[in-house]
Structures are given as C-alpha cells and as structure tokens.
Amino acid sequence: MRIDRLTSKLQLALSDAQSLAVGLDHPGIEPAHLMQAMLEQQGGSIKPLLMQVGFDINNLRKELTKELDQLPKIQNPTGDVNMSQDLARLLNQADRLAQQKGDQFISSELVLLAAMDENSKLGKLLLGQGVSKKALENAINNLRGGAAVNDANHEESRQALDKYTVDLTKRAEEGKLDPVIGRDDEIRRTIQVLQRRTKNNPVLIGEPGVG
C-alpha cells in the first residue's frame, strides 16, 4: 500500500499520528494514534460520522487515551518512528475496501470502517462503545452518496459541498420543502422543456412577487 494512494486528508491525519507518537515517546505509529488524529482533525468527517451513529465522543477520547498510555515508551527518542504492523494491516484492509468500492484513493471513512474489526484492539475499543459496524457502514454510504473517491482532494471537495450547498432532493424526501401552490401547469411545462434534447433551457417570466 503506497502512501500516495491516501487522500490528502488521510495523509494529514497520518502525519498528525506520527507527531503524536513522537510526542508520547512511542516506538511506532499504532492504529490508536491514527484514530485519535482523525477524531481531532479540523474539518474532518470522522467526528461527525461517529456522532451521527451514536458514539460518545468524550468517552471515546478517554478510551483512546487509556489505550495510548498503555503503549511502551522508548528511551532517548530520535523522532524517527515507523508504522506498526497493526497499522499497516489496518491500511491494507482499508485499501481492499476502497478497491471493492471502485475508489482510486483510500479515504478516512474507509479506514474507520476497516477499524471496526472485532479481532483488533482498536476494533474492540470501538465496538465496545455500543455501535454496530452495519450502522457505521450505512452512515458512510450516505456520506459518500454513491460517489467513488477518484481524487486525492475528494474529502475536501465533499466538505465544501456540505458547507456551501443544500441537498434539495434530500430535503424534499424529508418533507422540509414548502409546497408550490397554483403552479401545476407551469411546473409541468418546465419539466417538458427540461426533458428536450435541444432548446431545453426554460425561462420563467412574470411580474415581481408572482412567485
């Protein structure tokens, strides 16, 4: 698994995880370091995802801190720490998930999903919070909206869409749009124009205030 196959956001989280490991005098970068870095990442998607599916963020932070405190420390640290076998295994699992979804890059949410493995230390910690892997997977699918991650900056682009745009289709499904009254003929005609192969730009003209 090559580092350049990680999204920019995930690469930054990995760099933060390395800094965390160095600061704590740990001999290597463990999954818990990366999880902590993704959780605290400014503008990242992991914290909102975890909150959406019911994680107690404060309790999760405490458990991650406890896990990190149990790791061995090294004497006279040089600042040169490598990725542990457990973390390499986690990223390889996330890589497999990315390939299954047709992604060219490995995103943060797939690392989180891969971490929900009951056979790993981090997986047991996450599952111990009372949230199922299936619930997380559903939330991730909703976040992705069926789009493949084919750009290193995909996570940043997705955040910009969430911040500056409104999903009108979703709002309509949730019944959050006000009904349009008395404009059935106009709406029907607009739809007919939009369905044309050519000359398909409708123009709505009226006096101010007619809606």
Q: What is the pLDDT along the chain (211 residues), one digit of tens a residue?
A: 688 899 999 999 999 999 999 999 999 999 999 999 999 998 889 999 999 999 999 999 999 999 999 999 987 667 789 999 999 999 999 999 999 999 999 999 999 999 998 788 899 999 998 888 999 999 999 888 888 999 898 887 665 445 545 566 666 666 777 777 777 787 888 888 888 878 788 887 777 766 5
Candidates 47, 44, 50; CA nearest to 155 is 44
Six token digits for residue 28: 């290597």
Element (H, E) at 124: helix 121-127
- Is pTM beyond 0.85? Reply is no
Enumerate domains of the chain plus CATH numbers: 3-170 (1.10.1780.10)
Q: For residues 74 and 111, give the distance between their C-alpha atoms in angstroms, rounded to a whole number.
A: 27
